[in-house]
Every structure is written in structure tokens, then in C-alpha cells.
């Protein structure tokens, strides 16, 4: 009789144990109240993230591929299904913060139950089910990033500006040199996932694109440069803004990136390690597509296309840079030392591109409920590339397509400039 899979004998079991443990660790400092409240419709309670990722494994792996498995609680799928129409009715997204029961402790208990059942069955699961485990792990890593940004959105609503983690001691970092322009490749190139390892369905098929002569900035835009944009009246100059963006600025009275606060005439920024004076050399974060586009126009540049970005990043290590390794304070950091060539492509902040989130030529969503994962959101959103300080290390790659609506900015989103050559 073959030995059952364990984290020591099966790489998938090891990955499963590590990913699931990190989610729990990220939520460990939270009270039941912290984990229940929902600060806005775009953000979900921490408890909901922990439960939804568990629902994914219980539903699509254990329920569908383990004969005889019984749901831990038959009432909970209604609460923790996100948007899968094929799975039936579900609790409204904007009301997730009203789910006071089950408690955080009960959700943690459910996670432990599902983890034990899945690890016990892993060696008996068919290849299709193991593929769903891999999908579920990448799905949970996305929720780990959302978990952190949603906690930040929640704590930012508290007038006490509480910190979930203590601030690390960092030496002041000098402002880097002005950006340098790195010539990009032009002509025919290929983008999209090459089939090696995991990728989400929206990353393919791989296909040819035509790149026109262009250049990319060697680094992201930093806070000090954004302060100059503000000082020059950037938020009050309609000629810099797309029509929808200007309407958003006026309606929402936007004057600075999210979580920036002016105190005694100086800018501060709220983060998961509390409220601190603005760090001038750090990449600007928590900006919308509208803001990124307006800044690029103010700077006499533009946003890169996702094809330009991917081709430039193809030779870089996607596991490099300032990304998430363990539970603790996360924020965009200054590099400190100027390097030659493109850098900070992965880590610190997701970078807005000028590209709409649309299907690649030949794209077909997967069959069944999991086919709802990406394809149905290809409307009205813009693509971001790279990774952020809240992205679990190893989760991203050059072909990865993140996407949000143009007004959204509670994620660690920034920008890198581009220009026509």
C-alpha cells in the first residue's frame, strides 16, 4: 500500500500547507470584530477571505472529487460563494460585513477540518482534482493580498490610525536619481504564458504582437515626484485628466493618493504599520488608473501597454523584489541604490498599464464553474503588471494579468512611465 502524501513527500502537499498557514498567520493579530467588519463594498472582511478560500477547496475539490465527503456545514456555501453563478444563490457582496456568525474561531476550525480532509485525500485525487488544488492555491494567494489591503482599508477608517504590525526600523533612503529611459524592443514579439508551470486562463493563448519604438522608465514613480505633481496643481488641472477621471476627481474631491494625510503642512501616509511621515524615495502607491494616466500626461509621457511591459520583463526574475514572504508589515520601499537597466518590475507596487483587460486572440474560458474565474470580468477594467509588496513571493510572473476598475486604488497600485521613441 502506497504511503499517503505528506508535505515531506509531495510538493503539492507542501505548497498547500504553506499557503494555508500563511493566510491564517496574516489574520492572527485580528480580533473577531476586526475580522468581521467590511469597510466598503470593494473590500471583504478578513473572516470572509479565510472562509471563501476554504469554501473553494471544499466545493471544487472535496465535494466534487472525494466520494462520500460531507460538507462541514451545509449552510455556509451560501455565505461564502463569491460570484460563481453555477453554484447558485449567495449572500450579497456589500453585506458580507453583517455575517457575525460563524465566528472567526469557527472559520479557523473549518479551515483545519478542510485542510486535514484534503491532505488525507491528496494522493487519491485524480489529476484534474490536483490541478484544481493548484488553482485553489493561486486563488488563495490572490486573497492573501486582498486580505492585507482590505485590513488596511478597514484600519484606515479608525481615527486612532491603529497598526496591525509594528513598524520595522529602516534607515532613511536618499531619493534616487531622475528616471532613465530604457529603449524597448520593437517589431514582432510574443506575449502570453508559454505553458511552463501554472498560469491563469486569461494569460493565454500566447500570441504575436507588434511593438512600436518606445522606451520605459527604469523605475516606478516615487512619492517625491508625486508631491511635485500635487504642488503643480495636478489634481486641479482638467486638461491632464480623462473625462471620466476628471468627473471622479471632482465628485470624490480627490487631492492625493489614498492614505495620504496632510498633518501640520506635511504629507504622511497610513500603512499596516501605522501612520508615518511620507517616505519620499518610496514608489507611490494606492493610486487609480485615472491618477496614473493624469500623472503620465503631466510628465510628458504615457503609460506602457501591457505588451511593452511583458516583453521588457520577460528576462527578469519574477520572485525578486520587495514581495510578501511572511506575516508582517508590508509597504512599498525605496531601493536606495541606483541600478542599471529596468528594476523594481516585480514587487513594491502593481504598475498600471494603458491596456484594457480583454481576451487574447483565441481565448476560451474553462468548462464548468471555474470558467467564471476570469473571463466574465473582461469589461471596463485596466491591466496592471508585476507584483506588489503584498504579493506572495512566487505568485507572479511576466505574463500575469492583474486587473481593476479605473477608479479603484485601495490596492498597492503605482505606475512606471513610458514614451514613444
pLDDT digits (tens, 9 = 90+) for 358-411: 999 999 988 877 887 888 999 999 999 999 999 999 999 999 999 999 999 999
145 and 209 housed in the same domain: no
Q: Classify residue 176: in a domain, yes or no.
A: no
Q: How far apart are CA 295 and CA 336, in angstroms?
A: 23
307 and 414 housed in the same domain: yes
- The residues, any chain, with a CB within 8 Å of residue 58's CB and separated by 6 or more, are 71, 72, 114
Q: Give the 3-state DSSP-derived string for 308-339, with helices as H, strands as E and coil as C.
A: HHHHHHCCCCCCCCCCECCCCCCCCCCCCCCC
Nearest to 135 by CA among 49, 196, 198: 198
Identify the domain boundary among 156, 189, 221: 156
H or E stretch including 396?
none
Q: Which DSSP category does 58 fall into?
A: I
Nearest to 52 by CA among 102, 14, 11, 120: 102
This prediction's pTM = 0.95
What is the residue whose three cell numbers read 479565510? 50
197 and 119 housed in the same domain: no
Full residue range of the structural domain in which residue 243 is found: 181-420
118 and 191 housed in the same domain: no
Q: How far apart are CA 280 and CA 272, in angstroms?
A: 18
331 and 194 housed in the same domain: yes
Q: Which residues of the chain have pLDDT under 70?
A: 1-4, 169-171, 336-338
357 and 301 housed in the same domain: yes
In this predicted structure, what is the pLDDT of residue 2?
Answer: 45
239 and 371 housed in the same domain: yes
Q: Classify residue 170: in a domain, yes or no.
A: no
Q: How far apart are CA 38 and CA 91, in angstroms?
A: 14
- How many Cβ atoms are within 10 Å of 263's Cβ, its own excluded? 9
138 and 203 housed in the same domain: no
In this predicted structure, what is the pLDDT of residue 337?
Answer: 60
Q: How far apart are CA 285 and CA 293, in angstroms?
A: 14
Q: How far apart are CA 55 and CA 50, in angstroms?
A: 9
Nine cell digits for residue 389: 509588496
Alpha carbon dihedral 398, 297, 360, 310, in 10-degree steps, equals: -20
CATH at 299: 3.90.1580.10
Q: How far apart are CA 252 and CA 126, in angstroms?
A: 51
Bridging pattern class, strands 181-183 and 382-386: unpaired
89 and 148 housed in the same domain: yes
Q: Classify residue 337: in a domain, yes or no.
A: yes
Beta strands in 130-218 (DSSP E): 181-183, 187-191, 207-211, 214-217
In this predicted structure, what is the pLDDT of residue 1?
Answer: 38
In this predicted structure, what is the pLDDT of residue 392?
Answer: 98
Q: Classify residue 166: in a domain, yes or no.
A: no
Torsion-angle region of 210 (φ positive above 0: left; ψ -120 to 50: alpha; else: beta): beta
H or E stretch including 403?
strand 402-404
Q: For the chain, what percent of residues have pLDDT higher than 90?
A: 88
297 and 366 housed in the same domain: yes
Q: How far apart are CA 257 and CA 230, in angstroms?
A: 10
For residue 362, what are the CA distances in angstroms to 206, 263, 357?
9, 52, 15
Q: Classify residue 128: in a domain, yes or no.
A: yes
117 and 79 housed in the same domain: yes
Q: Classify residue 266: in a domain, yes or no.
A: yes
What is the residue whose three cell numbers read 504599520? 273
255 backbone dihedrals φ, ψ, rounded to 5°: -130, -10
Q: Classify residue 57: in a domain, yes or no.
A: yes
Please count the structural domains in the chain.
Answer: 2
- Measured at the CA of 155, the angle between CA 154 and CA 161, to 5 degrees, comes to 155
Q: Peptide bond preceding 75: is omega within 30 degrees of 0, i.e. cis?
A: no
Q: Are 220 and 257 in contact (CB under 8 A)?
A: no
Q: Which DSSP category does 387 fall into?
A: -
Nearest to 266 by CA among 298, 301, 231, 307: 231
Buried b (16+ CB within 10 A) or exposed e, 331-355: bbbbbeeeeeebbbbbbbbbbbbbb
225 and 342 housed in the same domain: yes
Q: Classify residue 1: in a domain, yes or no.
A: no
Q: How far apart are CA 84 and CA 82, in angstroms?
A: 6
Q: How far apart are CA 80 and CA 51, in angstroms?
A: 6
Amino acid at each position: 500500500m502506497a504511503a499517503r502524501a505528506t508535505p515531506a513527500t509531495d510538493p503539492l502537499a507542501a505548497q498547500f500547507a504553506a499557503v494555508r498557514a500563511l493566510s491564517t498567520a496574516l489574520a492572527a493579530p485580528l480580533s473577531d470584530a476586526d475580522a468581521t467588519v467590511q469597510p466598503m463594498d470593494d473590500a471583504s472582511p478578513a473572516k470572509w477571505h479565510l472562509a471563501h478560500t476554504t469554501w473553494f477547496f471544499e466545493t471544487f475539490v472535496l465535494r466534487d472529487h472525494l466520494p462520500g465527503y460531507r460538507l462541514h456545514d451545509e449552510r455556509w456555501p451560501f455565505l461564502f460563494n463569491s460570484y460563481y453563478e453555477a453554484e447558485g444563490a449567495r449572500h450579497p457582496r456589500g453585506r458580507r460585513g453583517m455575517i457575525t456568525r460563524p465566528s472567526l474561531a469557527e472559520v479557523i476550525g473549518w479551515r483545519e477540518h478542510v485542510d486535514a480532509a484534503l491532505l488525507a485525500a491528496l494522493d487519491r485525487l485524480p489529476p484534474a482534482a490536483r490541478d484544481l488544488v493548484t488553482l485553489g492555491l493561486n486563488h488563495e494567494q490572490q486573497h492573501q493580498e486582498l486580505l492585507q489591503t482590505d485590513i488596511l482599508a478597514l484600519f484606515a477608517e479608525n481615527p486612532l490610525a491603529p497598526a496591525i504590525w509594528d513598524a520595522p526600523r529602516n534607515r532613511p533612503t536618499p531619493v534616487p536619481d531622475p528616471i532613465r529611459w530604457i529603449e524597448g524592443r520593437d517589431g514582432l514579439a510574443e506575449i502570453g504564458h508559454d505553458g511552463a508551470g501554472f498560469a491563469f486562463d486569461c494569460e493565454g493563448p500566447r500570441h504575436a504582437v507588434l511593438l512600436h519604438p518606445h522606451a520605459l522608465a527604469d523605475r516606478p514613480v516615487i512619492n517625491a515626484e508625486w508631491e511635485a505633481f500635487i504642488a503643480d496643481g495636478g489634481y486641479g488641472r482638467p486638461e491632464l485628466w480623462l473625462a471620466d477621471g476628471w468627473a471622479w476627481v471632482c465628485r470624490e474631491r480627490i487631492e492625493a493618493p489614498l492614505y495620504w494625510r496632510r498633518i501640520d503642512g506635511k504629507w504622511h501616509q497610513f500603512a499596516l504599520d501605522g501612520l508615518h511621515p511620507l517616505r519620499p524615495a518610496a514608489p507611490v502607491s494606492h493610486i487609480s488608473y485615472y491618477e496614473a494616466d493624469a500623472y503620465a500626461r503631466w510628465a510628458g509621457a504615457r503609460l506602457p501597454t501591457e505588451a511593452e511591459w511583458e516583453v521588457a520583463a520577460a528576462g527578469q526574475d519574477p520572485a525578486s523584489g520587495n514581495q510578501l514572504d511572511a506575516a508582517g508589515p508590508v509597504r512599498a520601499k525605496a531601493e536606495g541604490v541606483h541600478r542599471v537597466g529596468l528594476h523594481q518590475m516585480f514587487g513594491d507596487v502593481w504598475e498600471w498599464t494603458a491596456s484594457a483587460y480583454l481576451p487574447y486572440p483565441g481565448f476560451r474560458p474553462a468548462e464548468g464553474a471555474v470558467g467564471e474565474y476570469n473571463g466574465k470580468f473582461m469589461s471596463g477594467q485596466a491591466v496592471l503588471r508585476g507584483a506588489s509588496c503584498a504579493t506572495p513571493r512566487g505568485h507572479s510572473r511576466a505574463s500575469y494579468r492583474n486587473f481593476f476598475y479605473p477608479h479603484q486604488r485601495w490596492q498597492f497600485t503605482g505606475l512606471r512611465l513610458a514614451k514613444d521613441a
